[in-house]
Chain A
Amino acid sequence: MNLLDSMSIREKDLWGELLIDVLVALYYFPKVFALMAQGDTMLRGGEMADLVISTIVLAIVVSIVVFGAIHRKGEAEDRDERDLQFEAQGNLLAFRVLYGFLVLILGQIVMWEYFSPSDLDALLTEAGPLVVGHMILLAMILTSMVKAAVQLFQYRRSVTGG
């Protein structure tokens, strides 16, 4: 059984989800961090709006291409017990990862409130909520990656036994 034959539709979908998460993260967050470094007005300006729109377009285009290729034969597949078991394992670890990120974010908010470096004062005062929002968004994307990765690891292990 070659590599693609060894993958169910569900597993191929997960590879697609992971690929999209990685591409979106690699495209979006470096640019956002660069805008943050320029000061708070950049987070509210046209550049930010352009970045959001271009990221959404990128995600949609890549999704159409990737999932179109995966489902080109029109195959449909209900989740079976193995899919549900692996999904539950992915959800469990993803929940713990997300919880950890939220604790870190809360801790960072407290740190900023009482110990913020002076060079961050303007950014945090004017765009603090946006900064926190981006931290939460980053946590959500990383959690989604973890969920997909855990499931994919289980799928591959159930094929190779490694």
Chain B
Amino acid sequence: MGKVLPISNNIRRLRFEANEMTQAQLAEKVGVTRQTLHAIEAAKYSPTLELAFKIAAVFEVQLDEVFQYHKQKPDA
């Protein structure tokens, strides 16, 4: 299946709550392509810290309300 990123997010919910903002609209606000935002939302790509803060700023929430880090269990 591939590597599972340890960071999940609530971007889809936050977009819906923000007057049903589209991925394209959010992508334009934070300066990335729609495809990059889709990959972030699907937890297939981890954004840089700067981009993560930009996304949080769009929704006017704290960073940890957008992204959540899940500590991975060490391999046995």
Chain A positions near chain B (C-beta within 8 angstroms): 1, 6-11, 77-78, 80-83, 157-162
Contact = CB atoms under 8 A, between A and B. Distances in A.
Contacts of A157: 2, 44
A1 B44 CA distance: 14
A78 B32 CA distance: 8
B19 interface: no
Nearest to B27: A80
B38 interface: yes
Contacts, number: 48
A158 B44 contact: yes
Contact of B35 (A8, A81, A160, A162): A8
Interface in B1-54: 1-2, 4, 31-36, 38-39, 42, 44-45, 47-48, 51
Q: SS class of chain B's interface: helix, strand, loop or mixed?
A: loop
A158 B45 contact: yes
A107 to B, nearest CB: 37
Given A158-B44, A159-B38, A161-B4, 16 more contacts: A1-B38, A6-B35, A6-B38, A8-B33, A8-B34, A10-B33, A11-B35, A82-B36, A82-B39, A82-B45, A157-B44, A158-B39, A159-B35, A159-B39, A159-B44, A161-B42
Nearest to A155: B35
Contacts of B38: 1, 6, 159
Contacts of A77: 33
Interface of B: 1-2, 4, 31-36, 38-39, 42, 44-45, 47-48, 51
A81 B47 contact: yes
B32 A82 contact: yes
Nearest to B3: A161
Nearest to B51: A81
A8 B36 contact: yes
Contacts of A81: 32, 36, 47-48, 51
| 8 interchain residue pairs of minimum CB distance | A80-B32, A8-B35, A158-B39, A82-B36, A8-B33, A158-B45, A158-B44, A161-B2
